[in-house]
Structure 1
Amino acid sequence: MKIALGSDNHGFDLKQEVKNHLLDKGFEIEDVGVSDRNAETPYYQTASLVAKYVANHQVNRGILVCASGMGMAIIANKHPGIYAAVCENAEAARLSRSINNSNILTLGGLVTTPQVAQEIVDTWLTTEFTQGWELSVQEWLHNSMKDIAQLETQQFAHLDQD
């Protein structure tokens, strides 16, 4: 699995911890920056870049780290086909995948310890969409993704005209 990884300066240290953890587990990483904790690249540039990698299927999933994780999620979710989730614990990560089929995980570098981040990342990467839900719920979730895709098409239709 190939993962795009990015941060701003507030998330740099945690991004590096997550990166090393993923490399140790054998994942292929596309690190889009920042390259040091003193970088002045705005969080929204990094979030947008990772979202484009995921939306264009250049990677399987993305992980973003800023101060709280929230700014990155807001920006990433402005891109069609992106379902970014802020997760502060492993249970939120499990639910973001099993219910919402999130394809970008966002973490808070100022609020998440490396150990907790590893638990979140491991859970997020090993949970599949609809995993653990009874058959009727699985069917409903799959149908809801079709409805969401239609809403997304309507919402972003103006982009195709520009």
Structure 2
Amino acid sequence: MKKFIIGSDKSGFALKEAVKTYLEEQDYEVEDCGTRSVDQPMPYFKVAPILAKKIQRGEYEKGILICGTGAGMAVVANKFKGVYAVACESVYAAEKCRAINDANIMTMGGWIVAPELGITMAEKFLNTGFTDNLEEWRKDFLKNASKEVASMEDKIYD
């Protein structure tokens, strides 16, 4: 069974539930590390670190975070070394955040993204690999760029 992690605050709860249900129907084992009830919400700045640390430790390869706009979750998740969170509002962005940026977390906005769109974005995010469907010259460039970014991180987090 494929493992996946997802989390939301109250503003992203409905979208998170739609994506989570879909992934479970696709035989994913889904860990929900955020708001599980609108009556007991968790704020974005508490949810994002839980998920980011699990990605950082290698417990999961990819995750999705959802708040009102997706921006707050991305800002917080990106505070962790080795975590690359990108706020997406389209299927194209979901694909390119993986293919170009090798993002391991996609964030979405529950106020912006409809459930059907969020599900399609999640599919694209999960099924796109780093440098998929890109020209050879761009693949080489991005692989080198990835090494440069990792080197920057080493200097920042040492």
Query: TM-score higher than 0.5 here?
Result: yes
The residue aligned with 1:106 is 107
Say how many residue pairs are matched: 157
Which residue number in structure 2 is paired with residue 44 of structure 1?
A: 45
Matched, 1:32 2:33: yes
Alignment of 1:82-121 (within 5 A): 82-121=83-122
The Cα shift of 1:38 comes to: 2.4
Partner of 1:148: 149
CA distance in 1, matches of 2:77, 2:99: 19
Report if aligned partners of 1:8, 1:39 keep a CA contact under 8 Å in 2: no
- The Cα shift of 1:109 comes to 0.7
Q: Distance in 1 between matches of 2:41 and 2:133?
A: 42
Could you list the structure 1 runs, at least 4 aligned residues long, displaced by more than 4 angstroms after superposition: none
CA distance in 2, matches of 1:114, 1:11: 10
* CA deviations over 1:5-26 (Å, ceiling 9, x no partner): 1110111111111100101111
User: Equivalent pairs: percent with the same residue?
Assistant: 36
Asked whether the equivalents of residues 13 and 37 of structure 1 are also in contact (C-alpha less than 8 Å), the reply is no
Matched with 1:20 is: 21
Q: 2: CA distance between counterparts of 1:103 and 1:31?
A: 16
Residue range with higher mean Cα deviation, 27-36 or 81-90? 27-36
Distance 2:107 2:47 in 1: 12
Alignment RMSD, CA only? Answer: 0.9
In structure 2, relative to structure 1, the CA distance for the partners of 1:56 and 1:66 (3 Å cut) is same
1:126 corresponds to 2:127: yes
1:136 corresponds in structure 2 to 137
Whether the 8 Å CA contact 1:83–1:101 is kept in 2: the answer is: yes
- Is 1:61 paired with 2:65? no
1:87 CA displacement: 0.7
Q: Is the 8 A contact 1:2 1:61 kept in 2?
A: no
Return the offset for 1:126: 0.8
Quote how far apart the aligned CAs of 1:156 are.
1.1
Unmatched segments (≥5 aa) in structure 2 = none
CA drift of 1:100 comes to 0.1
TM-score with structure 1 setting the length: 0.94
Distance in structure 1 (CA, Å) of the matches to 2:39 and 2:72: 19
